[in-house]
Structure 1
């Protein structure tokens, strides 16, 4: 599958263009104009890989709409470590951690984005310190998200984890209707499909959600948040924070020296928790 490019002009005007991506929207007009020289609007089709592990990516993608799954893969199984929507950028982690991706990024729900070549972005960051600051705030929140996912998979039960994922995906997509299947939730969270179906049915009986084929609608958002584990509030606050996340505000709990979260989830859908 290929990315479809819009043939539009770069951002060069003296007025602020409409952008939904939260990182871009929070930039000053001069900083946005500097980036706009190199931003390229694209359409994101479901299933497209924006990033592959062990490869040097060419672009960073500022998501405007849709949802991207950030994941790692081991022995044919996947673990989704974060979801990226309009508040974030795919490939941003590479700006602080080397040149080769350790994750795969797959478009989960179709949408659109602005992409910029990695080298152009690095050059702008060197010249425009405020761009670096805004990106670093997001990178800190995303790094926390990835680390917290590992802890969540070890410590929290399936109901709390599933409620947390639905809330985080709804936030990232900025929508209450999610085109997600039971199979995907089972795979991404490392739970048995039957366990996912049972939990979602319980949520539906409580009036929290409504399910149709391939779609899930959140009806009682506040109640669903109450079902979620503490990870949801921690991550929601991290993404919303106007300042970089600090250890005092967002501690990552220790899981102990004898627990390896990657081994815990690698057992896949048949592990005892599900």
Structure 2
């Protein structure tokens, strides 16, 4: 049986009552997620569901002309492949690990069998779906209305929220280009601008050192709004899964790291 310390590494699983979690526990396997690994490609069959314990996973949409753009960042507050709970067999987006970490893995068939026996697990799926839709809606609006600099600051903050420690993020300019859906030359220009404002302390090859307070000043309001709303959905969802459980308020002031992250 998965021990309590392991299961509470993922907020969705931690919110399940013990009896409901016990339906999943025998089938959960802890796996390591390597940075930059492609966990699933858009259109591929979903072979595994992943409940991250640490790290950051980007949902990437690929266009026919080869361009890419990130639509969500998922960490220990969410899951990857959970669309299979609605009967989808193919992945709607490509999932790429942007920070290394660990996750609990389970097959769709094993998860669905447990879901059919547990209203709490079914509710957990709805909680995550609401949080993911919230993120997708904000990202779509932000991409249409805000500058590349503000959008880059937002993505860096979302990733930093899910970093284990420190202010150095292992991100290349190619990765930033993929997240933003812009050319490398645009990323180079924006990074230089953010270094001049000292929101980025340094940008060595493959690494970005951030100054979080300055980065928050550069980011658009979408970061704070999105973080508050997602945390509220996940925290209040825990109340519905465990009767009598108190909603957990954000552990920091609005705009700081997502409540429950390990830093």
**How does the TM-score come out when normalised to structure 2?**
0.79
1:208 aligns to what? 199
1:158 aligns with 2:151: no
1:243 aligns with 2:243: no
Q: Distance in 1 between matches of 2:145 and 2:153?
A: 15
Structure 1 contact 85–173 (Cα < 8 Å) conserved: no
1:4 aligns to what? none
2:188 aligns to what? 197
1:114 aligns with 2:107: no
> What's the CA shift string for 1:61-88, capped at 9, x where partnerless?
0011222221121121112111212221
Instruction: Give the CA RMSD over aligned residues.
Output: 2.1
**How does the TM-score come out when normalised to structure 1?**
0.76
Structure 1 contact 48–107 (Cα < 8 Å) conserved: yes
1:252 aligns to what? none
1:31 aligns with 2:20: yes
1:143 aligns with 2:133: yes
Runs (5+) with no aligned partner, structure 2: 238-263
Residue among 228, 231, 252 paired with 2:222? 231
Q: What is the number of equivalent residue pairs in this alignment?
A: 231
Q: Distance in 2 between matches of 1:55 and 1:192?
A: 27
1:17 aligns to what? 5
Q: Distance in 1 between matches of 2:152 and 2:71?
A: 14
1:253 aligns to what? none
Q: Distance in 2 between matches of 1:153 and 1:44?
A: 28
Structure 1 contact 141–235 (Cα < 8 Å) conserved: no
Q: Distance in 2 between matches of 1:196 and 1:118?
A: 38
Structure 1 contact 152–231 (Cα < 8 Å) conserved: yes
Secondary structure of 1:87's aligned partner: coil
Query: Offset of 1:90 from its aligned partner?
Result: 0.6
Query: Offset of 1:130 from its aligned partner?
Result: 1.8
Query: Offset of 1:141 from its aligned partner?
Result: 1.2
> What's the CA shift string for 1:119-149, capped at 9, x where partnerless?
1111212222222223321221112222332
Structure 1 contact 80–188 (Cα < 8 Å) conserved: yes
Structure 1 contact 44–110 (Cα < 8 Å) conserved: yes
Runs (5+) with no aligned partner, structure 1: 1-9, 245-274
